[in-house]
Amino acid sequence: MGTNKNLYIAVVVVILIITIGTVLYFSGALVPGAIKSGNFETVTVDRGDVISTTQAAGIIESENEVILLSPATSIIKSILKEPGNHVQAGDVILQLQTEPVLDDIDKLKDQLEMKRNNLEKNQLNAQSTKLDLDYNEEVKRLKVVSLKAQLSDQEQLLEVGGISPARVEETKQEITLAEKDLAMLISKNSIRLKQLNAEDRGFTYKYAWMKKHWKKSNCCFRK
């Protein structure tokens, strides 16, 4: 019974303390007089005269940073703009040592010339190969035509008994073989022409890529 009474008294005391503290806080009794409303003045800070100066040290962090990537590996020759300087579009910030890069550009030029020569050589070889393919195909066609004309003559002789049936049959077999050879040659020529076209596209692509790469490098480092 005594325990409950003590607990009740403790709760009442805590409630009284909280109530008194709340009243004092909102009434301003606990606020120092120096910062009470009406005892100080608020103004908006603006630019004005420098009344006094003082030495200080610190680190200034830039609001914006830009990373410059060089088109090629090189060494910085001189820095024309220091960190914190104002720059305008087109201003030269730093200079690179261009001699090694220019040597690489000249090497690219030589490689570009080799690619151009390879492209021209491949195109000439392709033209020569196409002529050979057309010639071989025409020879096969003429052989078939010749055998058919020979068969026609033999059939006329066969009617009058001037040739044996076995010889006529042999000519027919030769025509069949010649036509198969012609068909096979046409198929092979078609495949070979596709290969030539693929090789030409490959050489053209390599030459165009090298030319674009060389122009880009030459434009950046020879200005």
Residues 4-15 have a mean pLDDT of 74
Note the pLDDT tens digit of each residue in 31-52: 555 555 556 667 676 777 777 7
The answer to whether 100 and 202 have CB atoms below 8 angstroms apart is no
Position 58 in a domain: no
For residue 158, the model assigns a pLDDT of: 80
Asked whether residue 179 carries a pLDDT value surpassing 60, the answer given is yes
Q: Which domain holds residue 141?
A: 103-221
Count: domains in the chain = 1
Position 51 in a domain: no
How many helices (H) and strands (E) the chain has is answered by 3, 2
Position 56 in a domain: no
Note the pLDDT tens digit of each residue in 83-138: 777 888 888 888 777 777 777 778 878 888 888 888 888 888 888 888 998 999 99
Distances (CA, A) of 161 to 60, 153, 157, 165: 116, 12, 6, 9
**CA nearest neighbour of 104 among 212, 218, 207:** 218
